[in-house]
């Protein structure tokens, strides 16, 4: 039997034909399945875009809120985040934020459909936050990455609008900065009354620093600025820094150098990763270090607490590895206790004394509390003189109002001068905090505010 006849006889065999057919079907299905997998991988790599955002990324919460507000409005699968908010009146209420839950969501951005996958790893924890590790993955058709940039930018702007007009306080937790409490309403810088010209000098210097980074780089000077505000307690050092940050639209990073566990390395890392834009605040710097000259026993006990050392602080402020593009404020009640190496130029560039009330401060504080409308409010806004077409009666009314405002201004300034003279007549130093506390007992003003100034020292 020839080979051809043998093959022909096999083809006529029903058992062999059935087996070969099944084998062919299986092989064809396997090849088809593999081809589909390869084609799908090729298609995803070349015709689809995927963006993964982990929970540690700053834009993670922004993106979830944006997806809920702008994208997946019709989704039925939501997670709730409850927070307590405080109004300006002090009333606290519950706020509920709905974000996409764990799973898959679809929404349309422009003309493009986007698949959102929010996943959670139950066996993997974010060590800094102590919560399960989460990621959000966005998948869309196309190859233009600009769409994702637009989405992230919209999410950032939406988050910034919610914080507009507020100051964010940051505190150090572990190796990173976290917002402390809720964003606070910005305090007007005019509400902190310092001695004449002091606040204006500091604000002008900070603005000049912010607006001229090239001046420093062209001359090879490190682009950072240090400020020291010193003076008795209750005179407005911290309040002015808070108002200054609000005026600039900056956050405030509050750092406690006496915190147990704050080492030199962690301090350097925190200064290098401080949120932008923000100012770094070291309050009561004199309480962190008594002196560089200490006994060996005291030094050993101090270093055993795993705290930042004085040399470590100096290196962080003005060392080889110190960061740039930084604004740092320090406050102290006792300038004489500070080591000269800490407050030398390069580490502290501007020193300002914030002292007890002068006559200028007393007058301005009195006017702010009791004559807001006449001096600082709407009545002092520039009045527009009437035109010739409006007639003589309009001009007469304008002159009457102008004289009335001017008379009220003069009377208010006389009362403020009387109050300041009455306080200074006791020849005792008084802080703005004491004056403010005294005004709180006389909210409506009146002659008794001037007549009872001796009670200022009894209150504080």
Using one digit for the tens of pLDDT, what is the confidence trace for 362-382?
999 998 888 765 555 555 455
Q: Where are the domains of the chain?
A: 48-162, 184-353, 359-459
Structural contact between residues 376 and 367, judged by C-beta atoms closer than 8 angstroms: yes
Residue 282 pLDDT exceeds 70: yes
Alpha-carbon distances, residue 303 vs 260, 280, 342 (angstroms)? 11, 24, 19
CATH of the domain spanning 184-353: 3.40.50.300
Alpha-carbon distances, residue 246 vs 9, 104, 131, 230, 354 (angstroms)? 95, 40, 32, 21, 19
Instruction: Enter the pTM of the model.
Output: 0.75
Structural contact between residues 208 and 214, judged by C-beta atoms closer than 8 angstroms: no
Mean pLDDT of 390-397: 71
| pLDDT on residue 192 | 92
Tokens 């959000």: give the residue: 136
28-57, pLDDT tens digit by residue? 677 777 777 776 666 666 667 888 888 778
Alpha-carbon distances, residue 429 vs 118, 224, 254 (angstroms)? 61, 35, 30
E strand or H helix that includes residue 392: helix 392-424
Structural contact between residues 306 and 263, judged by C-beta atoms closer than 8 angstroms: yes
Identify the weakest region by mean pLDDT among 289-293, 383-387, 409-413, 415-419: 289-293
433-456, pLDDT tens digit by residue? 999 999 988 888 888 888 888 888
Specify which of 26-30, 321-325, 426-430 reaches the highest per-range mean pLDDT. Answer: 426-430
């Amino acid at each position: 039997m020839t080979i051809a006849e043998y093959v022909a006889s096999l083809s006529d065999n029903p058992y062999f034909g059935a087996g070969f057919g099944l084998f062919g079907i299986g092989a064809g299905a396997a090849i088809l399945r593999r081809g589909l997998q390869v084609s799908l991988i090729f298609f995803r790599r070349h015709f689809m875009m995927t963006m993964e955002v982990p929970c540690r990324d700053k834009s993670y919460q922004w993106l979830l809120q944006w997806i809920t507000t702008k994208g997946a409005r019709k989704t039925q699968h939501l997670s709730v985040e409850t927070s307590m908010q405080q109004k300006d009146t002090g009333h606290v209420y519950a706020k509920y934020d709905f974000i996409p839950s764990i799973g898959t969501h679809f929404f349309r951005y422009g003309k493009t459909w986007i698949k959102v996958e929010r996943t959670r790893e139950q066996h993997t924890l974010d060590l800094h936050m102590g919560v399960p590790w989460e990621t959000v993955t966005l998948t869309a058709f196309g190859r233009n990455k600009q769409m994702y940039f637009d989405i992230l930018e919209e999410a950032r702007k939406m988050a910034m609008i919610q914080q507009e007009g507020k100051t964010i306080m940051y505190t150090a937790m572990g190796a990173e900065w976290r917002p402390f409490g809720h964003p606070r309403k910005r305090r007007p810088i005019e509400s902190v009354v310092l001695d004449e010209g002091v606040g204006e000098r500091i604000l002008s210097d900070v603005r000049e620093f912010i607006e001229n980074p090239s001046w420093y780089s062209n001359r090879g000077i490190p682009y950072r600025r240090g400020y020291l505000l010193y003076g008795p307690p209750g005179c407005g050092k911290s309040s002015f820094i808070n108002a200054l940050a609000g005026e600039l639209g900056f956050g405030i990073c509050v750092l406690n150098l006496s915190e147990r566990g704050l080492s030199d390395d962690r301090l350097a890392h925190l200064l290098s990763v401080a949120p932008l834009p923000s100012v770094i605040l070291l309050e009561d710097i004199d309480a962190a270090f008594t002196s560089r000259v200490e006994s060996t026993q005291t030094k050993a006990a101090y270093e055993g607490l795993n705290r930042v050392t004085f040399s470590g602080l100096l290196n962080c402020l003005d060392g080889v590895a110190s960061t740039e593009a930084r604004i740092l404020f320090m406050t102290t009640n006792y300038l004489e206790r500070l080591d000269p190496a800490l407050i030398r130029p390069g580490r502290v560039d501007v020193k300002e004394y914030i002292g007890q009330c002068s006559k200028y401060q007393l007058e301005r504080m009195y006017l702010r509390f009791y004559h807001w409308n006449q001096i600082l409010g709407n009545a002092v806004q520039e009045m527009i003189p009437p035109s010739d077409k409006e007639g003589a009666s309009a001009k007469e009314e304008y002159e009457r109002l102008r004289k009335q405002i001017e008379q009220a201004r003069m009377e208010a300034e006389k009362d403020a001068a009387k109050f300041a003279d009455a306080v200074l007549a006791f020849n005792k130093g008084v802080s703005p905090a004491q004056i403010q506390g005294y005004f709180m007992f006389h909210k409506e003003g009146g002659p008794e505010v001037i007549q009872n100034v001796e009670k200022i020292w009894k209150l504080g």
